Amino acid sequence: DIVMTQSPDSLAVSLGERATINCKSSQSVLYNSNNNNYLAWYQHKPGQPPKLLIYWASTRESGVPDRFSGSGSGTDFTLTISSLQAEDVAVYYCQQYYSSLRTFGQGTKVEIK
């Protein structure tokens, strides 16, 4: 199985400041034939279902604010919240779909400092 490891496990950021979450896969999730990275990011708030933010590592889902961005390739990826808002407090997960046995990172909790 492809193991996804996120860092940090939690972070506290001041309102309006940048939040950066890292995700590392145990093997490359870049599919050479189409040059796509098979990686998605989700936001999960208590009592709600997870919400898709990013797919193909950097494609923002429709309706997701542009302060959310994804980057990276191969085995190393980043989710950036450029200017943290109060409503962004949540747990964030990366997920690979390179393998049909999909796997998530352990999650990163984002709080307000």
Partner 1 sequence: EVQLLESGGGLVQPGGSLRLSCAASGFTFSNYAMTWVRQAPVKGLEWVSTISGSGTSTYYADSVKGRFTISRDSSKNTVFLQMNSLKAEDTAVYFCAKDPRGAVGWFDPWGQGTLVTVSS
The residues that touch partner 1, with contacts defined as CB under 8 A, are 1, 38, 40, 42, 44, 48-52, 55, 61, 91, 93, 95, 97, 100-107
Which of residues 14 and 59 has its CB atom nearest to partner 1 in the complex? 59
How near is the Cβ of 97 to partner 1 at its closest, in Å?
A: 5
Which of residues 74 and 104 has its CB atom nearest to partner 1 in the complex? 104
- Rounded CA-CA distance 96/56 in Å is 10
Is residue 21 a contact partner of residue 15, using CB atoms and an 8 Å limit? Answer: no
Which of residues 57 and 81 has its CB atom nearest to partner 1 in the complex? 57
49 bridge partner residues = none
Range 78-90 burial, b when 16+ CB lie within 10 A, else e = bbebeebeeebbb
Tell me, what amino acid is at 69? Answer: S
How near is the Cβ of 15 to partner 1 at its closest, in Å?
A: 26
